[in-house]
Amino acid sequence: MGYWGYYVVGRSEAPLAELDTLAGARGMVLRGTAPAGWQVWEYPGGDGDVGNMNALARETGAPALFGYVMDSDCVAVEAAAPESGAWTTCLAREAMAGYLGGGEDELGVDDYFLEPGDAAARAVAWAAEAGHAVTAESLLDVLTAGPDPLAENLFFRFLDRLGVVPL
């Protein structure tokens, strides 16, 4: 059995776990920090209320994102920034499709998440708002990759490519 849980990424002078937006996510653990106040918190299991990405971006005044890892197979990514707004995508799309079903009458990956090209464009704007210049091409290989063998590794590669949390 793989990992299930959230990673919460944001920039703040205060610990993210102490912010009002994340008050319902009891038991978050600091996973790491990076320059300019970036923090990565882990919320194993994800039981409880992890909050709202838009609210976290408003409260911190900076871009923020969640990565929900599903059995180490795939990651649902929710991102928001005060100026460029919110967007969602996923990592390890093929594995995510297995979790969504995708039968004839069911919604599939493209119904829930931005396609890789669109997600890369939104991620470039998100990174720019965070003060980092990145290219869509540098993100596309991560957005189209398989789980590597753990989706968590793919998520941290994505953060590295965004320029916020180096590997």
The answer to whether 133 and 162 have CB atoms below 8 angstroms apart is: no
**What confidence category does residue 148 fall into, taking pLDDT thresholds of 50, 70 and 90?**
confident
Over range 146-163, report the average pLDDT: 93
- The number of helices, as runs of H, and strands, as runs of E, in the chain is 6, 6
Flag whether pLDDT at 87 surpasses 70. Answer: yes
Which amino acid is residue 88, in one-letter code?
T
**What confidence category does residue 114 fall into, taking pLDDT thresholds of 50, 70 and 90?**
very high
Flag whether pLDDT at 158 surpasses 80. Answer: yes
Over range 52-57, report the average pLDDT: 94
Cβ within 8 Å of residue 162, ≥6 positions away: 123, 126, 127, 130, 132, 134, 139
d(CA 11, CA 16) in angstroms, rounded, equals 8
Per-domain residue ranges of the chain = 5-162
Which pTM value belongs to this model? 0.93
Over range 35-43, report the average pLDDT: 95
d(CA 45, CA 4) in angstroms, rounded, equals 5
